[in-house]
Chain A
């Protein structure tokens, strides 16, 4: 887990900008629509929309945290790729709702706002 950062990482919609947010929302929808019935979460993360979200860079972190809080899903690889952190305990491995809660808690501790 990375060191706790002191303050404000910015609010999702305030800092991301409407264009970034629109693009993010469209990519999330595409991923959910097209990811397919695969049982490997690594396979789900290979979808181009998922990779494109990672490629949007750190600006997308608050949007991912907001999405995770709103609708827990397999965003953990993206968040790990973007932050280097892994706030999920071994007891919560695979438990998507617990993993989402751990990441949301981590995001608030790091000063992200969404």
Chain B
């Protein structure tokens, strides 16, 4: 499925490429967390995975708690730093909508809901649908 650029007006302008085909088995939050076989969302009805002990509320603070279970802590920006991997959380006034993972190139990797994975500029997904980046997180890169 092609990316619907009409949903992300800045995506084409800022550059992106599709890196894997649609797959409903995982979403952006799982992808940002490095998980490719699970759908992460704080669904109150329990249809989706959410880390045990973390409230199933759609708030930025709760998403920070969810990533903290994987060792992520708050950080001030999304610039590449040697020895760290980073995640950006997007939100609208309704709450978090999306998360992206920083690549060593400085571009970001995202899973678009059940659709494609893409590499993109951080601002490429900002807009009405995903809102804006409201939080950066980082954790030490695992040693080889």
A residues adjacent to B (C-beta < 8 A): 32-33, 35-42, 44, 72-74, 76-77, 80, 93-97
Q: Known interface pairs A72-B24, A95-B38. Does A39 touch B29 (Cβ–Cβ under 8 Å)?
A: yes
Which of chain B's residues have a CB closer than 8 A to the CB of A77?
45, 47
Residues of A within 8 A of B97 (CB): 38-39
Report the bound CA distance from A61 to B112 in whole Å. Answer: 28
Contact with A along B1-45 (1 / 0, CB 8 A): 100100100000000000000001111111000000111110101
User: How far, in angstroms, from A96 to B30 measured CA to CA in the complex?
Assistant: 12
Partner of A36, one of B29, B46, B113: B113
Taking a contact as CB atoms under 8 Å apart, the answer to whether B43 and A37 are in contact is no
B98 at the interface (CB under 8 A from A): yes
In the bound complex, residues from chain A placing their C-beta under 8 Å from that of B47 are 41-42, 74, 76-77, 80, 93-94
Q: Which residues of A contact B50 (CB under 8 A)?
A: 94
Interface pair A42/B45, CB less than 8 Å apart: yes
User: Can you list 12 contacts pairing A with B, beta carbon distance less than 8 Å?
Assistant: A35-B114, A37-B114, A38-B113, A40-B48, A41-B47, A42-B41, A42-B43, A44-B114, A73-B24, A94-B50, A95-B37, A95-B38
Query: A41 touching B129 by the CB < 8 A rule?
Result: no
Tell me whether A74 and B24 are in contact in the complex, defined as CB-CB below 8 angstroms, given that A39-B29, A93-B49 are known contacts: yes
Contact B114 A94 (CB under 8 A): no
User: Could you tell me if A39 and B41 are in contact, using CB atoms closer than 8 angstroms?
Assistant: yes
Q: Are A37 and B112 in contact (CB under 8 A)?
A: yes
The number of residues on chain B lying at the interface, defined by a beta carbon within 8 Å of a beta carbon of chain A, is 31
Q: Give CA–CA (A44, B27) in the complex, Å.
A: 12
Complex contact A41–B4 (CB within 8 A): no
**How many whole Å from B29's CB to the nearest CB in chain A?**
6
Instruction: Return A75 CB to nearest CB of chain B, in Å.
Output: 10
Residues of chain A within 8 A (CB-CB) of B30 are: 94
CA distance A96 to B112 in the complex (A): 16
Whether B37 and A73, one on each chain, are in contact in the complex, defined by CB atoms closer than 8 angstroms, is no
| Nearest CB in chain B: distance from A59 CB, A | 23
Additional pairs, 17, CB under 8 Å, beyond known A40-B58, A41-B43 = A35-B114, A36-B113, A37-B7, A38-B97, A39-B98, A39-B111, A39-B113, A42-B43, A72-B24, A72-B25, A73-B24, A93-B49, A94-B49, A94-B50, A95-B37, A95-B38, A96-B39
